[in-house]
Amino acid sequence: MRVLDMSRVVAGPLCGRLLADLGAEVVKLEPPRGDSSRTVLPRVGDVEVYFAQLNAGKRNISVDLARPEGAELVGRLAGKADVLLENFRPGVLARYGLGPGPLLERHPRLIYCSISGYGQDGPWASRGAYAPLVHAEAGTLEMAARRRRSAIAPEVQSHGDAYPALMAANAILAALIQRGDTGRGQHLDIAMAEVLLYTNEWAAVELAGGGSIEQLFGAWNAPLLSLRSGQTVAFAGNPVFSFPSWARGMGRPELLDDPRFATAEARHAHRDELVGVLGDFVARFDTVEELEEALGPHHLPAGVVRSVSEVVDTEWSRSRGVVAEVSPGVRIPASPFRATGFRVGAGAPAVPRGQDNLEVLSDWIGLSAQEVAVLQEEGVLVSTVPLRPDRLPGV
């Protein structure tokens, strides 16, 4: 299965990484100046680790689409691909004759997947969109601030990129199955803002007017408490409802006779005092293991607040192989699921820009080493890695 990944930064590249993890031959096409994610620090040796996480396992070519010869090359490559993946603003690739209409007419079996901020049509189609903007437009920031009773603040992670990447991969797999029945490809239109609404499990509540109702059910109600060591521990659910289990776990069932804690309504009215009681109990323990031993029989699981580095250093992470070292010293998250019938995960590191110009163009459309060398000399192709001497013309 061949995928031509023309996308940049996060949403498209993460989709392409997932398809590569599943075994597709994914070729990333970078512009001459490179994917901007290569500028993100740090580097390990000469490897940009942010770029590596999103592009491990892909081959790499670099083509100047502004040159007619470059656009013509991409059109030929699309004819040999099963999937073309892009996240340009709607209409940009059409300027080069590479829009979905012309390419699907030339190559009717192609799955052409477009990821954009607000979709390929409609009044917002031409708007520029990045994850922080979509977080704002799709209600993510406003709802989080309202439920937390805090000021509106930017998200740290790019949910507006990551969720669309996963949705796009699902759509591509479904389209490939359908092509097996019909013999025809199609254009997939993935809008980042629509995906954020789809993955917001509170959207229906908000649309029904529930946004103005104080919700006692919801992750923002879960307490964060501290062990004696100062380590922070997270708990699931609202203690207003789970307090009877807490009382038994603390060995203090008499608290349920206290008028402040006797009913859910009373506990909600005295929530700060209730959380204070729980905090005093949790602070008696030195480790989360001791705490879990006390609370586990009462179905009150706990989770330690850890950094990424800390969770990767746990026995759980090591036993599951949660990270993969794709280059010396470059560790990236491994594929997050396991399969008994086939290998899953990045089989190669992220490579320098244009490293595979010759190999891809030779394998896919039959260009010779001399033709590739000429295109590189003319600037249609760009590479940060010289052509291997044994592949140069006349050698």
CA dist 220 and 148 (Å) reads 6
Residue with tokens 């399969």: 339
| Helix runs in 321-389, H state only | 357-365, 369-377
Please, what is the average pLDDT of the chain? Answer: 95
The model's pLDDT over 115-145, given as tens digits with 9 standing for 90+, comes to 999 999 999 999 999 999 999 999 999 999 9
The model's pLDDT over 43-80, given as tens digits with 9 standing for 90+, comes to 999 999 999 999 999 999 999 999 999 999 999 999 99
SS3 labels along 17-60: HHHHHCCCEEEEEECCCCCHHHHCCCEECCEEHHHHHHHCCCEE
The model's pLDDT over 330-371, given as tens digits with 9 standing for 90+, comes to 999 999 988 898 888 877 899 999 999 999 999 999 999 999
Please report the sign of the dihedral spanned by the C-alpha atoms of residue 206, residue 203, residue 148, residue 221. positive
**Residue pair 81/110 in contact by the 8 Å Cβ criterion:** yes
Q: Residue 326 belongs to what H/E stretch?
A: strand 323-327
The model's pLDDT over 207-217, given as tens digits with 9 standing for 90+, comes to 999 988 888 99
| Helix runs in the chain, H state only | 11-21, 49-55, 68-80, 100-106, 131-137, 140-148, 159-182, 192-198, 203-207, 239-249, 264-269, 271-282, 288-295, 308-312, 315-320, 357-365, 369-377
The model's pLDDT over 16-37, given as tens digits with 9 standing for 90+, comes to 999 999 999 999 999 999 999 9
CA dist 302 and 204 (Å) reads 29
CA dist 114 and 120 (Å) reads 8
Q: Which domains does the chain have, with CATH numbers?
A: 2-201+321-391 (3.40.50.10540), 232-304 (3.30.1540.10)
pLDDT of residue 389: 59
**Residue pair 278/267 in contact by the 8 Å Cβ criterion:** no
Collapsing DSSP to helix, strand or coil, 182 comes out as helix
Bond preceding residue 42 cis, omega within 30 of 0 = yes
CA dist 96 and 7 (Å) reads 15
How far is C-alpha 342 from the geometric centre of its chain's CA atoms?
23
